[in-house]
Structure 1
Amino acid sequence: MRFEAGQIVVRRYRRGPWRTWAQPMRVVRDDDAGLLLWAPEGGEFARLVDVDGRNTHDVSPDLMRDPKLTLHHWRGNDVLILMPPAAGWSVWWFFRDGAFTGWYINLEKPFVRQRDGVETTDLVLDIVVTPDRQWEWKDTDEFAAFTGHPLYFGSAAAAEIRAEGDRLIKLVEAGEFPFDDTFTGFRPSPDWPLPRFPEGSLG
């Protein structure tokens, strides 16, 4: 089952029994290269937040007292996300005022299609890449803290996640796809309104 260009789908993260993130995004295309999604600044998203305001960057969901998916609005940039089939990562293109500002590599499990979107599990470790392909690891302390947690990954899996990041860094340094000029000039259709959650799709 593939999605239609222009369709709104929900990109979700799961951690054990908890949905930790949900974001409605517009389908740019869905083909053998992967699912390409767009979310502009101001669109809706939801994240798992505890009663004290902490989220999954701060604490694992099993230690939250009363976690709930809480509605927010995406701020700071527009984002284009490519989720290749069977890949352990997605790559994000960030834009501000129409100008490309860099890539973001989100290490994650291969996505699973659902009726109204896709679901994956975030693997915590990320890589930030500037337009001139300078890179740095992100969330390394969080990655180390969650290694060995039963809801996350053991040390062997953590080594595999980092190795996948190292492989992608080589593509960055070589300027190979997806870290070439592909999509850096992307412009959304001016007819697209802000993506919002379809009724009943937040959870």
Structure 2
Amino acid sequence: MSDAMRPDTKAEPFLPGASVVLRSLQTFGERGEAVAFAVAGRVLVDDDDLAVVASPLGSAVRRRAGVGSGPNGRLVLPEDWDGDYLDDVWSGAPVVRVHQKGQPWSVWRWHDGSDWLPDWYINLELPWCRTHIGFDSQDCTLDVIASTGPDGAWSVRYKDEDELAFYVKTGHVSKEKRTSIERAGGDATAAALARAFPFDADWSQWEPSPAWATVRVPEGWSEVL
């Protein structure tokens, strides 16, 4: 897993409403760099400071095919990936992802059609880079969940620490990389507890519309240049 992402390959921002694909890139042994996961979405904001992308229900998802392993049985190690992808769709509830440019995470929220759900999901990943078909990043396995309880109390916890530990044990993540990921997790936790942006933002401006059509992945979505 690399620590560095390439710079933007598309200089012009996407217009609101544009269909894109969000991709997590990883290095897979002899296969080299490839798409580990992809999900289609609709651009709500894309400027010098911020990217906001929504995935309506039914939008296309692509996952690596292969035997799962690890603590949850869902980690497909590089040597277990057969090179193919499973066709899937986004389910549950529409999700909106907010990424501040240059930050090593994005903040996700789900909307059930009436209101935002209480959990805030902080996906630790390398900063997004804009491509001609969407945005590329690299998922860092460890995530942070911030929740608002019935009494309004704010709590923050980690998610998937066991999966990150498994990657370290198998040698797919170095101890140095783990330290870097955990540092980003600490920074994300501090941002959530301080109610920094985007936790203090007016999310009504990004509320998904039930009228939005599902989004497909574009042609060439699996190509890495």
- Verify same fold: TM over 0.5: yes
The residue type paired with residue 80 of structure 1 is V
Report deviation, 1:63: 2.1
Contact 1:20/1:47 (8 A) holds in 2: yes
Any runs of at least 4 consecutive aligned residues in structure 1 with deviations exceeding 6 A, and if so which?
Answer: none
Corresponding residue number in structure 2 for 1:117 = 134
Between the aligned partners of 1:148 and 1:3, the Cα distance in structure 2 is 40
Contact 1:126/1:137 (8 A) holds in 2: yes
- Of 212, 217, 221, the residue aligned with 1:192 is 212
Corresponding residue number in structure 2 for 1:172 = 192
- Of 137, 141, 146, the residue aligned with 2:167 is 146
Contact 2:56/2:213 (8 A) holds in 1: no
Corresponding residue number in structure 2 for 1:29 = 45
Q: State how 1:1-203 maps to structure 2 within 5 Å.
A: 1=11, 2-16=13-27, 17-50=33-66, 52=67, 54=68, 58-64=74-80, 66-101=82-117, 102-131=119-148, 132=152, 133-147=154-168, 151=172, 153-183=173-203, 186-189=206-209, 191-202=211-222
Between the aligned partners of 2:106 and 2:81, the Cα distance in structure 1 is 31
Q: Which SS does the other structure have where 1:171 is aligned? A: helix
| Greater length-normalized contact order (CA 8 Å, ≥ 6 residues apart) | 2
Report deviation, 1:37: 0.3
Between the aligned partners of 1:118 and 1:84, the Cα distance in structure 2 is 13
Report deviation, 1:150: 5.5
The residue type paired with residue 127 of structure 1 is V
The residue type paired with residue 100 of structure 1 is W
Contact 1:123/1:161 (8 A) holds in 2: yes
> Percent identity of the aligned residues?
27
Deviations 1:21-79 (A, max 9, x none): 111110001012221100122211111121x4x38963443221524121101111211
The normalised TM-score by structure 2 is 0.79
The normalised TM-score by structure 1 is 0.87
Between the aligned partners of 1:19 and 1:39, the Cα distance in structure 2 is 18
Between the aligned partners of 2:59 and 2:218, the Cα distance in structure 1 is 12
Q: Which runs of 5+ in 1 are unaligned?
A: none
Contact 1:46/1:202 (8 A) holds in 2: no
Contact 2:24/2:137 (8 A) holds in 1: yes
The residue type paired with residue 4 of structure 1 is L
Q: Which SS does the other structure have where 2:24 is aligned? A: strand
Between the aligned partners of 1:59 and 1:177, the Cα distance in structure 2 is 31
Contact 2:144/2:188 (8 A) holds in 1: no
Q: Which SS does the other structure have where 2:187 is aligned? A: helix
The residue type paired with residue 61 of structure 1 is L
Relative to structure 1, the CA distance from residue 149 to residue 113 in structure 2 (aligned partners, 3 Å threshold; closer, same or farther) is farther
What CA RMSD, in Å, does the superposition of the two structures yield over aligned residues?
2.3
